[in-house]
Amino acid sequence: MHLSAVSYLNTRPLVWGLMSGPQSGQHQLDFDLPSVCAQRLATKEVNAGLVPVIEAARQHLTPIGSLGIACRGPVRSILLLSKVPIADIRTLSLDSSSRSSVMLARIILQQGYKVQPETTVMAPDIRAMLGKSDAALIIGDPALRLDPDSTGLYTLDLGEEWFHLTSLPMVFAIWAGHQQEPDLAKTLQASYEYGRLHLADIVMAECQERNIWPGLAYEYLNSIIQYELTDEFKKGMKLYIEEAIKMEDKHPE
């Protein structure tokens, strides 16, 4: 089968077996931005992918197994940074690599801070983004390369904000396709189990090229990102999809 997975560090435990373990060679695996994963599934260029949950809902995709990218509290890799107090944000630059994160930012700003800023889509360059807007949304590896405590900016961790708002975990992406794939689900589970046993190898192999501090990377993969979607996570995902669809109706893209 032809698979598309997100290129960020947080997916590596899920695909490590497919990349360099017992599952390698079983399927063709490409790496893309989250939004591109979703687009390739929509056009049926790939059979299955690790896609933003809002895209899985929009395309009526079928979950494959019970693995994904999630958090229960702070996520560290989805940050909203602002030059002004959060309640005073009027303009926001977005890294549009993942629609899940963009929608989450809008939900949190509106429901948590009564803010509905005008938005601009930009490449994930924090200086350029803040040169144009009051605030910026940075996700994935670019966010991990930042030290939020040393920026001097107002900062929201959107995983933490979602948990404060809902008391539920946040699910960002899931394995999904156009139909049930029980054999693939078993392979993906085995790939993840192999990855979980080789986190130190993943950190050693990935961090220098990505310019991410190894200590942070290990903590991030070992305890911050959650991969196994229990019923509590699925409840949080259901609520997020409901809120995101409402928000999407107000902000069509």
Phi, psi of 78 (to 5 degrees): -135, 100
Question: What is the Cα–Cα distance from 66 to 3, expressed in whole angstroms?
Answer: 16
For the segment 222-227, the average pLDDT, to the nearest whole number, is 98
Residue 96 carries which side chain, given as an amino acid letter? Answer: S
In this predicted model, what pLDDT tens digit does every residue of 138-165 receive, in sequence order? 999 999 999 999 999 999 999 999 999 9
In this predicted model, what pLDDT tens digit does every residue of 27-68 receive, in sequence order? 999 999 888 888 999 999 999 999 989 989 999 999 999 999
C-alpha pair distances (Å), 230 with each of 98, 106, 108, 237, 244: 23, 26, 23, 11, 21
In this predicted model, what pLDDT tens digit does every residue of 88-131 receive, in sequence order? 999 999 987 777 898 999 999 999 999 999 999 998 899 999 99
pLDDT tier, 252 (very low <50, low <70, confident <90, very high otherwise): low
* pLDDT mean across residues, the chain: 94
Q: Answer whether residue 250 shows pLDDT above 70.
A: no
208, with CB counted inside 10 A (0-12, 13-18, 19+), is: exposed
The whole-model pTM stands at 0.94
Domains and CATH numbers, the chain: 2-71+169-230 (3.40.190.10), 78-167 (3.40.190.10)
In this predicted model, what pLDDT tens digit does every residue of 166-214 receive, in sequence order? 999 999 999 999 999 999 999 999 999 999 999 999 999 999 999 999 9
> Which one, of 164, 191, 176, 159, lies nearest residue 79 by Cα?
159
